[in-house]
């Protein structure tokens, strides 16, 4: 079945006996038992709730995993995943990650005795040289946030398999519509469903999708114990958002390609980072492992003054953190998503005062260009 159809119909959930076309919101904390020692299959909503179950099965199917767990945010998903590691374990992570993941790894994970090496994970030789006996996993975002570096997942997974370590991929930017890391050798897929999967900038959610029963059993037990599960109503919002994932991704990508081209030719824009530009160094890897390029664009303007004026003068485009929704958002990574990354490291990556990130939304392309044009204008 095509992904766009799975988005609409979801998993084969036994629909409500009323025939309700929309999945019902089971707004309940607990479930009554028919007899001693028997259960309807549901006992308590932290463990499972029918609305959330429908969503989880749908996302597992979209990502071609054997199980998916829905969390109250992307960070809740990643935090829970980190509980599979022990004191003394070592991990390798991309040096260009969502700032919240960096903060988690460098504070809470560190306190829990887990050490990290941050590196350019698209450089496979360096990654391999960092592996030591204590190394348990490699955590990557591809394309990365916000520099849009692409890691060749199939090649990286031959390394992780060789050493018997886990490959964890944050697939928030491309979504299962454009990329399925589990099919490329990943063991765990992470999502901030707050972004494209929800698509409406109206709720927080996250996922872990697992490729093996062993990982599913292990993480289900932690999930049930720690409890950062997604509420029934929020689960329903994501089910509703997912219905239009395919059409939104197609349209947002189309807008992004046009906007990347327009930005590239604007005299005040010095550099455009978009994997869909054939001039992007990782264009070929993207074509090999993904079905699309997504709708995230980073770019560098000529000077700090232009960056600040642009942020203050956009009207339609909103100056806000986050991404993936119908509304086009512009972000200043230096002050927002990456404020906690040390200045030196940030600047080495290229995240300076001239650097901006766009999450291209669903507005008409002409209106987006007109807004950027007036905001970049000198008068
Ligand atoms: C937003 C984001 C997260 C964190 O997700 P929340 O839902 O905000 O907790 C993790 N990874 C990436 C790539 C993100 O964009």
Neighbouring residues of 370: CB distance < 8 A, sequence distance ≥ 6: none
Domains of the chain, residue spans: 3-242, 246-376
Whose tokens are 């399925």? That residue is 180
187 or 18, which is more confident: 187
Alpha carbon distance 64, 6 (integer Å): 11
Cβ-proximal residues to 155 (8 Å cutoff; 6+ apart), any chain: 124
CB 109 within 8 A of CB 136: no
Give residue for tokens 């074509």.
Answer: 287
Active-site annotation holds for 319:
no
Contact 132, 267 (CB under 8 A): no
Q: What is the pLDDT of residues 279-295, one digit of tens each?
A: 999 999 999 999 999 99
CA–centroid distance, residue 75 to ligand 1 (Å): 6
Q: What is the pLDDT of residue 338?
A: 82
Q: How far is CA 327 from CA 45, 314, 359, in A?
A: 33, 13, 8
* DSSP H helical ranges for 243-292: 245-264, 283-289
Nearest atom in ligand 1 to 172's CA: 13
CA of 60 to the centre of ligand 1 (A): 19
- Asked if the model's pLDDT at residue 189 lies above 90, the reply is yes
Mutate which of 75, 197, 200, 324 for ligand 1 pocket (most atoms within 8 A of beta carbon): 75
Residue 113 pLDDT grade (very low, low, confident, very high; cuts 50, 70, 90): very high
**Three-state DSSP class for residue 17:** coil
What confidence score (pLDDT) does residue 343 get? 87
46 is catalytic: yes
At 46, list the tokens.
């932290």
Residue range 41-51, pLDDT digits in tens: 999 999 999 99
Instruction: Answer yes or no: is the C-beta of 96 below 6 A from any ligand 1 atom.
Output: no
Q: In which order are the strands placed within the sheet that holds 206-210?
A: 67-71, 206-210, 188-192, 166-170, 135-141, 90-94, 115-119
| Cα 204 to averaged position of ligand 1 atoms, centre (Å) | 9
pLDDT averaged over the chain?
Answer: 96
pLDDT score for 378? 82
Q: Which of 67, 96, 152, 170 is catalytic?
A: 170
Class for the domain spanning 3-242: alpha beta
Query: What pLDDT, on a 0 to 100 scale, did the predictor assign at position 337?
Result: 82
Nearest CA to ligand 1 atom 5: 74
Of 107 and 343, the structure prediction assigns the larger pLDDT to: 107
Q: β-pairing, 269-273 with 67-71? A: unpaired
Residue 88 pLDDT exceeds 80: yes
Would you call 96 a catalytic residue per the annotation?
Answer: no
Distance CA 363, CA 205 (A): 24
DSSP strand pairing (329-331 vs 355-359): antiparallel
State pLDDT tens for residues 21-40. 899 999 999 999 999 999 99
Fold of 246-376: 3.90.1150
């Amino acid at each position: 079945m095509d992904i766009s159809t799975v988005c609409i119909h979801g998993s084969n959930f036994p629909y409500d006996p009323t025939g309700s076309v929309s999945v019902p919101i089971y707004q309940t904390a607990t479930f009554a038992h028919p007899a001693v020692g028997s259960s309807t299959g549901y006992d308590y909503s932290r463990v499972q709730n029918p609305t959330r179950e429908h969503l989880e099965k749908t996302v597992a199917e979209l990502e071609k995993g054997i199980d998916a767990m829905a969390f109250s945010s992307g960070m809740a998903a990643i935090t829970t995943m980190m509980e599979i590691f022990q004191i003394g374990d070592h991990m390798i992570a991309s040096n260009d990650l969502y700032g919240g993941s960096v903060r988690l790894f460098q504070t809470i994970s560190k306190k829990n005795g887990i050490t990290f090496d941050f590196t350019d994970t698209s450089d496979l030789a360096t990654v391999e040289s960092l592996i030591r006996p204590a190394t348990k996993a490699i955590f990557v975002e591809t394309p990365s946030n916000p520099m849009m570096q692409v890691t060749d997942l199939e090649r990286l997974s031959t390394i992780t398999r060789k050493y018997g370590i886990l490959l964890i991929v944050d697939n928030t930017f491309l979504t299962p519509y454009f990329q399925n890391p589990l099919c490329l050798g990943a063991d765990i897929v992470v999502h901030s469903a707050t972004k494209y999967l929800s698509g409406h900038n109206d709720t927080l959610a996250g996922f872990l999708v697992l490729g093996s029963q062993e990982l599913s059993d292990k993480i289900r037990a932690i999930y049930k114990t720690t409890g950062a599960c997604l509420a029934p109503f929020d689960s329903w919002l994501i089910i509703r958002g997912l219905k239009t994932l395919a059409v939104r991704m197609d349209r947002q990508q189309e807008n992004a390609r046009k906007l990347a081209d327009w930005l590239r030719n604007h005299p005040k824009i010095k550099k455009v980072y978009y994997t869909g530009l054939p001039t992007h160094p990782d264009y070929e890897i993207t074509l090999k492992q993904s079905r699309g390029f997504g709708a995230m664009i980073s770019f560098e303007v000529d000077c700090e003054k232009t960056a600040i004026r642009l942020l203050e003068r956009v009207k339609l485009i909103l100056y806000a953190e986050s991404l993936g929704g119908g509304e086009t958002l512009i972000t200043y990574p230096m002050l927002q998503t990456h404020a906690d990354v040390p200045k030196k490291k940030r600047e080495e990556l290229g995240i300076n005062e001239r650097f901006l990130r766009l999450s291209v939304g669903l507005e008409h392309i002409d209106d987006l260009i007109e807004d950027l044009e007036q905001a970049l204008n000198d008068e």
